[in-house]
Amino acid sequence: LLGRDVIKPNINIIKKSIFQKIVMVTGAGGSIGSELSRQIFFQKPLFILLVESSEIALYNIYSELQLKQKSGYCPDVSIVPLLVNVQDKEKLAYVFESWKPHIVYHAAAYKHVPLVEHNIIAGISNNVIGTLICAKLAIKNKTKHFILLSTVKAVRPKNVMGASKRLAEMALQS
């Protein structure tokens, strides 16, 4: 579809960074975060910290992973549902200080262009400030890897959502 070669993930690298590690997924209940959570779960981390601001989204991914465990998959993985907004510095700091994640997959972002266009302050606060708070806490708590899930819309932004994602990328690069 995109006219480029498919690059298959290096399973050895993925296992090395996830297996028996404490892995945090922000935005764990969203469209991207929930798929990440599923895939990470099967790599058998020691703990998977599901960080999500939406109660129903958190409940859904947590319940789904628990159901997989009850079916016999990855019985030793501890699934930790954490109802936390990445803009809440105090609560997020508590999570980092308590759990000391080895790797953070930061997927917490508002990605629906029409919603962000109508809610500019919320979009910038979540996508830029939330990312910056999360990244600074990762540095402070010596998190080994921080992966920002961004979007192609951030390459040459034509709207507020794309610009907010580009600002988040620039903040991490600095």
The amino acid at residue 95 is V
CA distances in angstroms from 86 to 30, 92, 106, listed in the order given = 14, 6, 9
φ/ψ (deg, to 5) at 64: -60, -45
| Residue 142 φ/ψ region, left for φ over 0, alpha for ψ in the -120 to 50 degree band, beta for the rest | left
Closest by CA to 42, choosing from 63, 9, 14, 6, is: 14
How many other C-beta atoms lie within 10 A of the C-beta of residue 27?
28
> Which strands sit side by side in the sheet containing 47-52, from one edge to the other?
78-83, 47-52, 22-26, 103-106, 145-148
Is 142 catalytic? The answer is: no
| Residue 45 φ/ψ region, left for φ over 0, alpha for ψ in the -120 to 50 degree band, beta for the rest | beta
- Active-site annotation holder among 89, 91, 136, 153: 153
**Active-site residue set:** 153
